[in-house]
Structure formats: structure tokens, C-alpha cells
Chain A
Amino acid sequence: MSLLEVDTLSVRYPGVVAVDGLTFSIDRGESLGLVGESGSGKTQTAMAIMGLLPADAEVEGDIRVDGRSLLSLDDAALNRVRALEISMVFQDPMQALNPFVRIGDQIARILLEHRLAAGDDASGKVVDMLDRVGLPDPERQYRAYPHQLSGGMRQRAMIAAALITDPALLIADEPTTALDVTVQAQILDLLEELRDDTALLLITHDLGVVAGHCERMLVLDRGRKLEEGPTRTLFVSPDHPHTRTMIDAAPRLGARQPPDPRMSETILIADQVDVIYPEDQLQAVHSTDLILKAGETLALVGESGSGKSSLVRAILGLVTPAAGDVEFDGIALPPDVRRRKPADLKRMSMVFQDPVGSLNPQMRVRDIVGEPIGSSRHSSVSATLARVGLDDSFSDRYPHQLSGGQAQRVAIARAIITQPRVLVCDEAVAALDGTVRQQIIDLLMSIQRETGLAIIFIAHDLAIVEGLSHRVMVMYLGRPVEIATARDLFSRPGHPYTRALVDAVPEPDPLSNKYSFVRGETPSPIAPPLGCAFHPRCEHAIARCRVELPKPREVDNRTIACHRYEELRTEVESSPN
């Protein structure tokens, strides 16, 4: 008998079938990846197992743990099952932890509630658990409130809460989606290391995560099971074409060759830009230069707090830089977008991360796309919509009637209708599913080929960036640490942080077992470390790195801000791998 048996499970809402006749099982100690794009029903399945579906959900079929049906249990019995046999780790730990209760007390309460331990014994167990999940100084963190921890630390605390009862099954629903890439690798590794004989149901849209961490995988599409099998087999020879498409669309390093660097004139220069947010008392960008050449794609890469969005917002004039100049074609632009001339505005435009949030919900597609040219009836509106792959039937729709990919196409249409020479894409594909993401990237590339548009492409995921960018600029805590052509950067990452980002990309290949990753998390930009901002996380840091800020230098065709670049370069070259 399997530990968990899900038998022809269906979850319906009025008018929607979320899960449709799903059957699968998990054995003790096994790890199963539940993979699908958004809307495929993977979270609904997890919620059904946990008994957390909203009241208007109609559930059919059966869910058994150790042969006992969960659907017929009353609340008290279900609570015991949830505490002792199944635990769950949620996507956003800030939402899942009670902000008013100390971390340690929240976890201890689980033990006390189910009489697994009492008083000091319980707190002792919690401190041990916090230590095991890698919280530094667990006695102190026991008394911390959730907001006092960083995102990664909160997720560690969440894992401690889930594992404290030593459950037979752990359900992790997109446990790393809300985290930075370097932290994601740490959390996945921690889950793997701690779960021992606990079975794992890992829910994710990211095939790289499944490949490295699950023995078996199950592919869901629109509530139905497409196929199920050992991860290695499915990755090599999937039965279903949709699985093949998903595997091919998963971002991986080395899959696409970076394009040749462009030899063209410089059109945009940002010179020594400082961005300061006085109300938050932080400096987001420190005297940063940026150069963009006509027709090239410059990828701006970094984790949260790196200042990449603030830098482009300053270039576009959406925030006024505290210092520095922005020049377009050699002429300085006014720092505030409101003072820029219409002709200047037409030359640069932007596509945002949230496809729906960047469209006014009260306006029709036609009016949204036509706004920058001041007319929604102009023939170029439908021509531009056609260019981004939307026919005329879309022009009367409202944003909430569009899918994520369609909404992003509308946003691209709005951005290119003025025939700009520079397009800024701020995490423009981060919110999209794998297959849609590739379509949007292909669309941007083909527009670039046709019009010679220069693109600044902001991303946190290096695997996406590799195939599309001519040059890459890596930022950390408000400063560029490395600028190089994509060819040079990916073939030999120079800065230790760049290398950490490359290592953190989960590879959608079950046979690869690279796992070296950088420790720690990006510190708060309110109090950046002295010297090189990366030194607390850098394994190569020496005394000099702790006190002296490395200046960006031109070496080997790249700009790099690392004291030890030359030494480390020879170290890498002389090592056998």
C-alpha cells in the first residue's frame, strides 16, 4: 500500500473544472514532482490533499493516506493527519507565517497542540530544528518575528515548522518561486538533505527544480494527467508532445549560443548615475555607468536589491537620479520624464513585469495601444497589434479578458507603436509560463531583427538571458560587478558573484549533479557591507575585500569589479575542470 493514494480526484468550481480525474500515488520516502503551467491544477491538487479547498469547491474521488480516506474525516481528525502525517511548505513564507507570533512560538505551538512535547522540551526541540534548517544563532531567531528574517530565512523557518512533527509526507508548493535564484538553490538542497524518509510532493512550474530533486514526475495540463514516470525517463523520452515542449522551453544554460556582439555606434549613455530613495533611507544605485549600442540587447542581471530596475527607471526619467547624466545620441536628456520632449519620449519605451497590472483595466486594447500616438483609430494600431500576433478581434477587449501572454503582447505593441530605438524590458517574461515565455522572447527578437531596436533586458535568470543578449551587465547591491559580451561572460564568468548566479541556475537535466552554490543572501541595501559588497558571501574574499571597494577595471575585454580577478582567473584555468 502506498503512503498517499489519490484516486480519480476531481475538483470543480461553478463553471470551471480545476482537476479532472487525477490518479497517482506516492510511496514512503519517495519524491514526486507535480509539474504544470499555471492553471494546470497542481495547487488545487495539493489543497485537496490538505483539505484546504474553499467551501464552493466540489470534490469527487478519494484521497487516502495509509489506506485511510481523508475526505470522510471530520475537522479534528483531519487536523491530526495534517499535523502528524502531512505537512506543507507554501510559496510565500511571509503569507504563511503569522506576523504577530515569534517564529519559535509558532513552531512550538504545533508540538504543544498535539501533545508531542511540553514546555521547555518543546522549545528545545524547536531550537534544534531551527539549527538543522540552517538558521544562524537559533536561540535568538526563536524569538524573532517573521518580518525580522530575510526571505530565505523565513522559508527555512517554514520548513522547520513543516518537519518538526516528522511527517510521512511533505508537500512543497512552489517553495522557491518567491526567492532569489542563489537562495533557491540553498532551499532546495536543504529540503533534499532534511527530509530523510519523508516522502516529498514537490509542486513546481520549473522543470529544472524537478530534474534535480524528484525521482518521479507527473505532468499536469488543464487538470488532467498527461503522463507520469521516472524523471530520467520522462526527460529523455516523453510520450506526450506537450511534455516535450515544456522540457524544451525550460531555460537551461548552454542551450542557445549568445549572438555575436554588435559593432555599432553608441546611442544611450548613463554616466555615474546615483539613485537614492530618501524616504527608505537607501541608495539603490551607486555611481553606475551604462552604455547601449544601436541594435544590441544588453541584459541587466541581478537579484532583488541589485538596483537594476532603479537604474533603468532613472534612465527613463521615472525616478530622478540624485546624480549623473543620461545622454541619447550625445545629447543630455532632462532627468524628469515630464520635462522630456515628445520626440525624446518616442525614442525609448518600456515593457513591465506584470502583464495585466501594466494595462489600465478600464481601457480597451485599442485605446491602450493607441495612447502613445494619441489616436486609437489610426491604422498603425491594428498594424502594430498584427505585428505582435494579435488580430483585430482583440482591439475591443479589456485587459481582464486577456491571458498573461496576450496582455504582454499588448504591452509590447504599446511600447513599439512609436517606433522607438530603445526598448526596456523589466522582467518582462518573469511572470509567464515556460512555453509562452519563449514565444514572447522570440517576438522581441524578431522585432529587433526587423527594426534594429536596442533592448535593455532586465532578468534575474541567467539561463533566459544567455540566448538573446549581446552583452551582459551583472549588478550586485547597486553596483555593476561585471560587464562583458554574453559569449565571454557565459564561457568564463569572471566575478565570483557571476559564477554564483551561473551555478544557481537549476538545470533541467536529471543526470547533471552540479551542486555548488554561494552561501547567504543579498544584504539589505539600507546597510551595505563595507569594502566589496559581495565579500560576506564570497569564498575568495581576503582582508583587502573587506575594506576596499573594488573599482570597475577593464581587463580581458570585460569590465570587472573584483580585487582578485587575475589570481582567480589563473586558479580557474589551472584547475583540472
Chain B
Amino acid sequence: MKTAIARAFAHRTVLVSASLLAIVAVFAFLGPVLSPNDYAETDFDELRAAPTLSDLHIFGTDNLGRDQFVRTMLGIQVTLAVAFIASFVSLVIGVLYGAVAGLVGGRVDAVMMRFVDTLYALPFIFFVILLMVAFDRNFLLVFVAIGAINWLDMARIVRGQTLSLKEREFIDAARLGGVSLPGIIWRHIAPNLVGIVIVYVTLTIPQAILMESFLSFLGLGIQEPRTSLGSLVENGVGQIESASWLLLIPAGLLALILMCFNFLGDGLRDLFDSRSSA
């Protein structure tokens, strides 16, 4: 039995993390518009300037004299975009693939899931490096690479859930009521997948963010002069002794975004759990 306190806390976690994310996103998209500075413009008089109000360099400047605030906001934009697009790709492929495998079952299911197992076995970093080299560091490839990995988990989860839904008595009742297969998927399987899929997506977003940061940190992700939180952190690490804010601010924001998504996912899971068991 869920206590009222736990439920209220779950609500509050969801509320707080969702509002924090909203604030960060609003800043990320409005900040660069409002700021007089440009993300690629260099100012050689102010290399590695500490955060200051003059020229509105409120996060300071980097080692090339570019405004760190605008670059950070741009980095958040890229990071969020990568995360959302990659998660969306994994959502669409994963749900379709998993639901079909689970519903059709039998030999089709076995072949489809062995294919997933095979993809799991590929060394991911090696795979991405190959893609990057082959396609000349194309920006889109980051989305493709991350999405191509994340949908595997989603497909497995959706397949498992579909398999257990298929055994439920209300599915038998629908079949006896003459409901067609598309009707069963649309009215009986899909709505009962929504909860777990939403929760899982909020948990794959931070995974995708981490992966993008990791690739950018290795220099395999977004290329200069564009940037992402991962590239900013990588740049900041090099300046840690002379300009620590170049590391601390993007790293702190990255951590904040990751934590918000994780808490959001946990909170949503609690909410869905308590609703279905109430």
C-alpha cells in the first residue's frame, strides 16, 4: 500500500523536476536571443574572462574569447535536441518492433529478438567511430547512433509487456467479442503500454544525454564552432587551473538536467504504479 506521504512526494518530485527542466529549457532557447553576444564571435581582449556583467559575459568567456553564456545555452539546446530526437527514434522503432514481436509471437518473435541480441553484441564505441570516420563527422549521425542503440532496450521492454498483456483475460474477452487484431492492439494493448513507455522514455533521455556528452567529450560528437554540454565540459577540463568556471558551470548544468530527468522518470513511475494498483 502506498502511503499518502510517498504519493505526495512523488507528485512533488515530478513537479519540481519538471519545472526546473522547463526553466532550463526556456533559458536555453531565449538566452542566446536576448544576449548581445554571439556563440562563434571571438573577443581577443577578453580571453578566459571570469563571469562579469560587463558586455554581459555572465558566465565569462572561454579560451578563444567567446561568450560562455551563449555557448552554454546553445550547448543545452543541442544536448536537449539530441536527447529528445534520439529518444523519439528509439520510442518509435522500439515500440513498433517490440509490440509486433510480442503480439505475433512464435518464430517471428524468435527471429526478431535474436536480431536485437545481435545488435546488442556490437561494440558501440567502435561502431560510432566507424560511422564518424566513414561519414565525415556528420552531425545527424550522433542522433542516429544513439537512437540505434537505445531502441533495443525499448523493444525488449515493450515485447515483454505485450507478452504479459496478451495473456490477460480482457484480451480473451475482446477476442470472443469479435474485436479484430488492429482493434485489440489499438484499444487493449496500446493504452496499457502507455504508462511504461512514458516512464521508460523519461529514463532513456538522460541515457542519451550522457551518451552524447561522452561522444562529444571524446571529440566524436558535435563539431566546432557548434557545441554541446559534453564539448563544453571537455573544453573546460583543459582550462581547469586557469578558468575553473569553464568546467563547473556546464558540468553543473549537465548534472542538474540529468538529475531532473531521472527524478521525473522515477516520479512518473510511482504515479503510474499507484494508479494501476489503486
Contacts and interface: CB of A to CB of B under 8 A. Distances in A.
Given A357-B168, A358-B173, A361-B192, A15 B4 contact: yes
B173 A352 contact: yes
Given A15-B4, A357-B169, A362 B177 contact: no
A54 B176 contact: no
B11 interface: no
Contacts of A345: 176-178
Given A14-B4, A15-B4, A56-B1, A358 B170 contact: yes
A564 B179 CA distance: 49
A371 B3 CA distance: 36
A363 interface: yes
A361 B170 CA distance: 9
B278 to A, nearest CB: 5
Interface string B165-194: 000111011111111010000011001100
Contacts of A359: 170
Interface in B136-177: 168-170, 172-177
Interface string A316-354: 101000000000000000000110001001101110111
A56 B3 contact: yes
Contacts of B191: 360, 362-363
A400 interface: yes
A14 B3 contact: yes
A374 to B, nearest CB: 8
B276 interface: yes
A54 B1 contact: yes
B175 A354 contact: no
Given A14-B3, A360-B188, A361-B192, A352 B169 contact: yes
A102 B126 CA distance: 47
A77 to B, nearest CB: 27
B176 A349 contact: yes
Contacts of A361: 192, 276
A342 B178 contact: yes
Interface residues of B, number: 22
- Between A346, A350, A354, A360, the greatest number of chain B beta carbons within 10 A of the residue's beta carbon is seen for A360
A576 B179 CA distance: 59
Nearest to A348: B176
A350 B190 CA distance: 24
A352 B192 contact: no
A3 to B, nearest CB: 31
Contact of A360 (B1, B4, B5, B192): B192
Nearest to B7: A14
A14 B7 CA distance: 12
Nearest to B169: A358
Nearest to A353: B169
A154 interface: no
A372 interface: yes
A239 to B, nearest CB: 33
A350 B1 contact: no
Nearest to A341: B178
A372 B178 contact: yes
Given A361-B276, A371-B174, A400-B276, 15 more contacts: A14-B5, A15-B4, A318-B176, A345-B178, A352-B169, A353-B169, A357-B168, A357-B169, A358-B172, A360-B174, A360-B187, A360-B192, A361-B192, A362-B191, A372-B176
30 contacts: A15-B4, A54-B1, A56-B1, A316-B176, A337-B176, A338-B175, A338-B181, A346-B178, A348-B176, A349-B176, A350-B173, A352-B169, A352-B172, A353-B169, A357-B169, A358-B169, A358-B172, A359-B170, A360-B170, A360-B187, A360-B188, A362-B192, A363-B191, A371-B177, A371-B179, A371-B187, A372-B176, A372-B178, A400-B276, A400-B278
Complex A-B, nearest 3 residue pairs according to Cβ-Cβ distance, in ascending order: A372-B177, A358-B169, A362-B191
